């Protein structure tokens, strides 16, 4: 199936963006929904496109990331992930125990995938209708070193739900809580002293 999709989009270059629905724009590029339900991501930089495609290809068996079907220059075809970015979802709905547990499972998956960067920004996590989560924009997973979720913690702290997340973490994964807690407290102390 992947080869057929690859040939359909990449070799024939038969994508007309006028037939596609604009989904969103981020630091790395823009995303459109294709008529068949797949997504096309057009990156601003060809090298970031290649790096992201390599990461997604490498972790293709993980349920937490979109599958990719092909790349050409600065764009790739991949699964479209429907849902709401975590930061927007929490602003509207808060954080439930189920969502906190799903975030913890995602972070544990990073370790299983041998990521050297065990971190993700809130805006790069999509919350689906059942509060399951997926990552839409993996960056520097194998090149940057980080052994606790600094960006995620910062986002949850700013959204005023970090205490809830940490209480679920303590209950569900006490060993991980014990390892992360001093790093998190030190980081929160640091960012709380910085003017917004």
Q: What is the pLDDT of residues 187-196, one digit of tens each?
A: 999 988 875 5
Residue 181: strand, helix, or coil: helix
- Is the pTM higher than 0.95? The answer reads no
Kindly report the average pLDDT of the chain as a whole number: 90
pLDDT tens digits, 135-186? 998 888 898 999 999 999 999 999 999 999 999 999 999 999 999 999 999 9
Residue 101 CA to residue 106 CA, distance in Å, equals 9
35 in helix, strand or coil? coil
pLDDT reading at 80 higher than 60: yes
What span, in angstroms and rounded, lies between the C-alpha atoms of 67 and 69? Answer: 7
Beta bridge partners of 77: 40, 70
- How far apart CA 154 and CA 119 sit, in angstroms, is 11
- More confidently predicted of 103 and 4: 103
In terms of average pLDDT, the best of 3-7, 98-102, 115-119 is 98-102
């Amino acid at each position: 199936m992947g080869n057929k999709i690859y040939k359909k989009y990449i070799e024939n270059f038969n994508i007309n963006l006028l037939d596609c629905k604009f989904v969103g724009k981020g630091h790395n590029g823009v995303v459109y929904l294709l008529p068949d339900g797949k997504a096309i991501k057009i990156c601003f930089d060809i090298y970031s496109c290649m790096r992201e495609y390599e990461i997604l290809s490498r972790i293709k068996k993980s349920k937490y990331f979109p599958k990719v079907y092909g790349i050409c220059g600065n764009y790739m075809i991949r699964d479209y992930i429907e849902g709401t970015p975590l930061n927007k979802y929490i602003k509207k709905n808060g954080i439930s125990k189920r969502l906190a547990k799903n975030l913890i499972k995602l972070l544990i998956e990073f370790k299983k995938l041998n990521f050297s960067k065990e971190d993700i920004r809130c805006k790069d996590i999509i919350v689906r209708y059942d509060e399951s989560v997926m990552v839409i924009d993996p960056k520097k997973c194998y090149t940057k070193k980080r052994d606790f979720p600094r960006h995620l913690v910062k986002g949850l702290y700013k959204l005023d739900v970090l205490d809830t997340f940490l209480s679920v973490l303590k209950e569900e994964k006490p060993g991980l809580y014990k390892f992360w807690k001093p790093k998190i407290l030190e980081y929160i102390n640091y960012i709380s002293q910085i003017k917004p």
